[in-house]
Structure 1
């Protein structure tokens, strides 16, 4: 049975509807496994709370860190935590691709009338990200209130865009690493250290060595989706370029990742190949 022909608008509507079905299944999972959901939320709160406790101890000794006061740092941490949790909850596919290839599931996905990557994203929602997402958003709101930040519609829109860009940048970086599975047999030893690099993006870049700042900005640009958006919202007169730079870099990084994915998928010859 051939898939029906659709124009671009119809195809977009079809994919949105299908992703809605994936989300519906995910939400049913959260409701069905209430204990697991509760544990994930509590674990997220504890994980973020431990870092906040660490920051509180640091700021009990020093009044500011690289020119950032306590609540500014908390705001940066909240934005970075929410962006990471958004990625983990909805864009966890890069961690699954190796398994799909090894156990032949990719072969089955390739004969379906929707893209393999789309299916991987649909199947990849992660329960453990829910608690961290909720906690990160609460931390952002709390610190913004303490900072007495004034929010225009444009700033609210940019904050939402920044969270989406953060999630997409992480997805693109990790997808690029996971695509190496099409050429080599084991990439998990690489993908996890690259994931852990994101932890540095929760802090002001000024406290790090220039080499690490360059790594987080130009090689693995996690800072583009965390530090710079937070810096723009707190000090937009010094980081005006972030208003256009963050979405532009996100599109560029995502475009490169999708191109490399297409190369790897064309090379794939099946589980027995």
Structure 2
């Protein structure tokens, strides 16, 4: 009996998907228990999120006291764009923060442990990467979206509500895929963290209408590092669907493409990985 080999059960694609969703649910339970256990830290994170987002709203308020519109966008439209981008970034930070810890995972030998388990190393990295600070910004971002939408008297149909959820998760995936693409270079380069943070900060530009930026920056954030597809454009579609109809399918399609490319690069890097024990 002691020499018998225990094999992971065989599952079809649907069964594997259900299994992974359930497993990630367990990771989230641990995350929620952490939030409850460390109440003071959770409260500080929420307050910090309110202060951080509030400072930007104060900046917008000062700007719009002098000009009625910015690139043809009104104050509350700008606030809605900002709120959606803030919510999407917080969602990414709270659920998909793995790229920031990948270097440590590889150097500490944790990758060796993950690779011998019956679940993929990338899935385990995602499951262990929830960030406490994302909670405060998530709560604040949603509040800003709801407030600005009420002032704009937006006509929320069932489709727009569904699309808002799809867009937020698509944005989180786009951010994750971009940062994963950078962090995966750790398999080839000794130090990559000095690059991943500036790339992450670029997302903050897309909290505002792209028209106010130079064409080069607009092209960078749309076609090279497609952060705008996860913030400005979905917000613009929700506000002015007749002008941005393509965003209805373009946002989730972009998320699928960049995630597929990032996962391919991850697979290539993982095949190159050699154990730290070796």
Question: Which residue matches 2:244?
Answer: 239
Match of 2:188 in 1: 183
Q: Distance in 2 between matches of 1:249 and 1:107?
A: 32
Whether 2:68 is the aligned partner of 1:60: answer no
Which whole-Å deviations, capped at 9, do the CAs of 1:165-203 have from their partners, x for residues lacking one?
110000000000000000001000100000000010000
Alignment-derived partner of residue 18 in structure 1? 23
5+ long unaligned stretches in structure 2? 1-5
Residue 211 of structure 2 is matched in structure 1 by 206
Aligned to 2:14: 9
- Within the alignment, does 1:165 sit opposite 2:165 as a pair? no
Q: Scaled by the length of structure 2, what TM-score is found?
A: 0.97
- Whether 1:107 and 2:87 are equivalent positions in the alignment is no
For this pair of structures, how many residues does the alignment match? Answer: 273
SS in 1 for 2:245: coil
CA distance in 1 between partners of 2:236 and 2:275 (Å): 46
Find the aligned partners of 2:24 and 2:241 in 1 and give their Cα distance.
Answer: 36
1:260 maps onto 2:253 in alignment: no
SS at match of 2:118: coil
2:276 and 2:262 mapped to 1: Cα distance? 23
Unaligned runs of 5+ in 1: none
CA positional deviation for 1:18: 1.0
Tell me the TM-score normalized by structure 1.
Answer: 0.99
Q: Deviations over 1:112-139 (max 9, x none)?
A: 0000000001000110000100110010
Match of 2:129 among 108, 115, 124: 124
Post-superposition CA distance 1:194-236 (Å, at most 9, x none): 0000010000000000000000000110000100001111111
Moved more, 197-206 or 11-20: 11-20
1:98-119 per-residue CA deviation (whole Å, 9 max, x = no partner) reads 0000111100110000000000
Measure how far apart 1:24 and its partner are: 0.6
Aligned ranges 1:71-82 → 2 under 5 Å: 71-82=76-87
Query: Alignment partner for residue 29 of structure 1, among 34, 42, 51?
Result: 34
Deviation at 1:82, TM superposition (A): 0.1
1:40 and 1:260 map into 2 onto residues whose CA distance is: 33
1:272 deviates by: 4.3
Q: Could you say what secondary structure the match of 1:96 adopts?
A: helix
Alignment partner of 1:150 is 2:163 = no
The partner residue of 2:144 within 139, 143, 165 is 139
